[in-house]
Amino acid sequence: MVIASILRTKGNRVVALGPEETILSAARLLTENRIGAVLVRGPAGELLGILSERDIVRGMAAQGPGTTGLLVSQFMTRQLVTIRPETLVVEALGLMTERRVRHLPVLDAGGGLIGMVSIGDLVKARIEAAVQEAEELKHYVVSAG
């Protein structure tokens, strides 16, 4: 199974904000959308980084009280780990484990953003595939017997 199949089911909506937004507005955006990370985009829509719940917690631990008014650009991760739509789900899971990330922006061949997947999306897809395979094997065994 490839990432493109997950995006077909999930959709390609990606939540983003600008680097000049505050950590408080970012936290509210994450909460309202019930997501764990948001992409950070520049004025022309270019990808500048990603801000995760983990980034916020680390930033708050380092900066102390009063961090909600600081800028997203101060907390975001600038080095994006990305994948392509033809990436296998198992490869993406391996990349997440290796790079210790939970969200992967999906880029087309030209580097354009076409979606984002989370660890939850990938685990869900693997479980659904395993259930389907088990059902097919069960049907095969029953019909062959």
Q: Tokens 């484990």: give the residue.
A: 97
At 40, which amino acid appears? V
Helices 3-10, 89-99: crossing angle, 10 deg rounding: 100
Q: What is the pLDDT of residues 23-76, one digit of tens each?
A: 999 999 999 999 999 999 999 999 999 999 999 999 999 999 999 999 999 999
User: Any idea what the CATH number is for the domain that residue 8 is in?
Assistant: 3.10.580.10
- How many domains is the chain partitioned into structurally? 1
Q: Tokens 């019909």: give the residue.
A: 143
Tell me which residue range forms the domain holding 60: 3-144
Helices 23-33, 53-63: crossing angle, 10 deg rounding: 150
Q: Tokens 């800028």: give the residue.
A: 71
- Global confidence as pTM: 0.87
Q: What is the pLDDT of residues 74-120, one digit of tens each?
A: 999 999 999 999 999 999 999 999 999 999 999 999 999 999 999 99
Question: What length does the chain have?
Answer: 145
By the 8 A CB rule, do 122 and 6 touch?
Answer: yes
pLDDT at position 145 is 64
Kindly provide the b/e burial profile for residues 67-101, where b requires at least 16 CB atoms within 10 angstroms of the residue's own CB.
Answer: beeeebeebbbeebbebebebebeebbeebeeeeb
